[in-house]
Chains A and B, each alone.
Chain A
Amino acid sequence: MRSLKFIVPFVLFLVLAAFFAVGLQRDPREIPSPFIDKPAPPFKLQQLHDAAKPFAPEDMKGRVWMLNVWASWCVSCRVEHPLLVEMSKRNIVPIVGLNYKDQREAGVQWLTRFGNPYVLSAYDLDGRVGIDYGVYGVPETFVIDKQGVVRYKQIGPITPEALEKKILPLLKKLQA
C-alpha cells in the first residue's frame, strides 16, 4: 500500500512522457487528409496549354495517376520538380498537373524553362478546384487509383525519401 504512493505518480509520469515523446515526433503542419480512400472530387477545367481542351478526372479512369498541384509562383515546387521530370522520363506513372491560381503565360513559361513532366496541366485560375481538393500548401500531390479513389496525399514537395518509401511502392501495388 505504501509503495503504491510512489508507483502511481511514477506511472502517470511515464504515460505523460510517452505522450509528449510521440507528440514531438509529429509534424504539426501535416494534417491528416480527409480525402484518403475517398473518390477524387470531380471537376472540369481548361487545359493550361490549350484553353479549348477540357480536362476532367474521369478522363483518367482505369489508370493509376498522380495529380500534382503546382504554380509558377510556388518556390518549393522547384524543389520537387526535378523528381517529377525524372519520374515522367522513366514513364512510371502519368502525372497530371493542376496549375493553381497562376497566370497562364507564367505557367507555360515555367514549364518551358524547367521541363514539363505532365501529360497535361489543368488550369485552376480562381483556385476553386484547389479548395475542393483541400489544398493549403502548394505543392501537393495526390495518388489516385484506377477506380478514381485518392490513395495518398503528399503535402509539400515530394522528398526522395517519400518517393522511395511510400509513393513508388504504392504505385507498384496499385498498378499490379
Chain B
Amino acid sequence: MRTLLAILALAFASAAFAQSGAAGPANPDPMVEQRMKVLAEELRCLVCQNQTIADSNASLAIDLRNQIRGQITAGRSDGEIRDYMVQRYGDFVLYKPPFQVNTIALWVAPLALLVTGVIVFLIVVRRRRAQPPLPGASPRRAEIEKLLDGP
C-alpha cells in the first residue's frame, strides 16, 4: 500500500513538473497572457503542423509564445506580431489564410460552387415545370382513377 501511494505521488509530481515546464514563464499581467493566447491560437506550430502554437509543447512553440509575450510587452500590435511570424515562416503559419492572388481560389471556390449549384437547381426545376404532361398518360389516368374510386 505504501509503495502504491509513493508511486501515485511520484506520478502526480511528475505530471505537475511536466505542466510547469511546458507552460514557460507566464507573464504576470493577465491581459498580456490573454492576448498572447488569442494570437497563438491562430498561428500554426511548424514542428507539429496540425497544432497551434498555443496547443503545442514543442520547444519552438514555447520559444514563439515567449516571443509573442515579449513583443506584446514591447507594445507591438497584433498585426505587427502576425507580420513578424509571416516574415519568418511564410503564410503557412496563419490558420486563417490571407485573401491574396494565390488564395483567390481558396476563398472564392466555395461561394462559386454554391452559386453554380443553385443555378443548376433552378434550371432543372424550371424545365420540369415547363414540360407538358407525358403523352399517353391521360387516357390511363382516367382508367386508374376509375379503379381507385372503387365500385
B47 and A136 within 8 A (CB): yes
Is there a chain B Cβ closer than 8 Å to A23's Cβ? Answer: no
Is there a chain B Cβ closer than 8 Å to A137's Cβ? Answer: yes
Q: Interface residues, chain B, CB within 8 Å of chain A?
A: 46-47, 49, 59-60, 63-64, 67, 86-90, 92
Residue among A101, A134, A136 with the highest chain B CB neighbour number at 10 A: A136
| Given contact pairs A34-B87, A126-B63, A127-B59, a sample of 4 additional A-B residue pairs in the complex whose CB atoms are under 8 Å apart | A34-B88, A34-B89, A132-B88, A136-B46
Q: Which residues on B sit within 8 Å (CB–CB) of A109?
A: none
The chain B residue with its CB closest to the CB of A41 is B88
Contacts A34-B89, A133-B88: A101 and B59 contacting too (C-beta < 8 A)? yes
A127 and B63 within 8 A (CB): yes
CA distance A29 to B45 in the complex (A): 12
Per-residue B-contact encoding for A100-143, CB less than 8 Å = 1, 0 else: 01000000000000000000000000110001111011000000
A31 and B90 within 8 A (CB): yes
Smallest CB separation, B17 vs chain A (Å)? 20
The chain A residue with its CB closest to the CB of B87 is A34
Is there a chain B Cβ closer than 8 Å to A159's Cβ? Answer: no
B47 and A137 within 8 A (CB): yes
Smallest CB separation, B105 vs chain A (Å)? 11
Interface size on A, residues (CB 8 A): 15
Q: Which residues on A sit within 8 Å (CB–CB) of B92?
A: 31-32
Smallest CB separation, A40 vs chain B (Å)? 13
Q: Which residues on A sit within 8 Å (CB–CB) of B87?
A: 34
A33 and B63 within 8 A (CB): no
Which residue in A31, A32, A136 is a CB contact (below 8 Å) of B60? A136
Is there a chain B Cβ closer than 8 Å to A9's Cβ? Answer: no
Q: Which residues on B sit within 8 Å (CB–CB) of A101?
A: 59
Is there a chain B Cβ closer than 8 Å to A62's Cβ? Answer: no
A34 and B47 within 8 A (CB): no
Q: Which residues on A sit within 8 Å (CB–CB) of B63?
A: 126-127, 131
CA distance A32 to B102 in the complex (A): 13
CA distance A19 to B49 in the complex (A): 22
B67 and A34 within 8 A (CB): no
